[in-house]
Structure 1
Amino acid sequence: MAASSAGLHIPVGARVTLPAGDGVVRYAGTTEFAAGRWVGVELDMATGKNNGSVAGKVYFETEENRGVFVRPSQVKLAAGSETVRTSQRAAVVTPSTPRARPTSIAGA
């Protein structure tokens, strides 16, 4: 089951599902071809619109018709893909090593 991308950061390298098919995120950010945030996806099948470039600007590289750019709202993260909420990033916690307690020596 895929998770919606609403309110989530979509990391480069994440497996995603789009209306055009499944693929891997290769670019996330702003572009020169249109305002706002875009997600560039390398599709598993050649059902896309480009090779990762638009109007001569290369955002990522893939085979012809394997690239597509969509708005983040069109992206569904595949089950098991890494997701990080933009409003509440996960804290990194380093496990601590248990400290040895001094032993009591009875009758010494």
Structure 2
Amino acid sequence: MAEEDRLSEPDVLNEAGSWKKEGRKVALATVVETWGSSPRPVGSQLAVDESGRMVGSVSGGCIEGAVVHEARQIMEGAPPKLLSFGVSDEQAWEVGLACGGKVSVFVEALG
């Protein structure tokens, strides 16, 4: 990742921490594995609060909807979850991951 790209990215963890301090429920999604063509590198993060406010990205938009759906479930008490999306996965086409790669995203609630 180029230095200028890192500098322009939001500070997801600080923003999520601020939301948590304000008393909001918060979930954090982190790209933990990629293969082939993937829109975001390993380590990319997306924070979501209970109202649907988001900061960061795990896919550049193509799977965010599915990740946010799972994040909301986890904020309500579901266990943390590892999500996998790829072109051979029917759900990948449904959520728009047609880039030809695979991405795995771990979603957890911040305690």
More strand by share: 1
TM-score interval for Structure 1 and Structure 2 normalised by the shorter chain: under 0.3
Q: TM-score, normalised by structure 2?
A: 0.27
Q: TM-score, normalised by structure 1?
A: 0.27
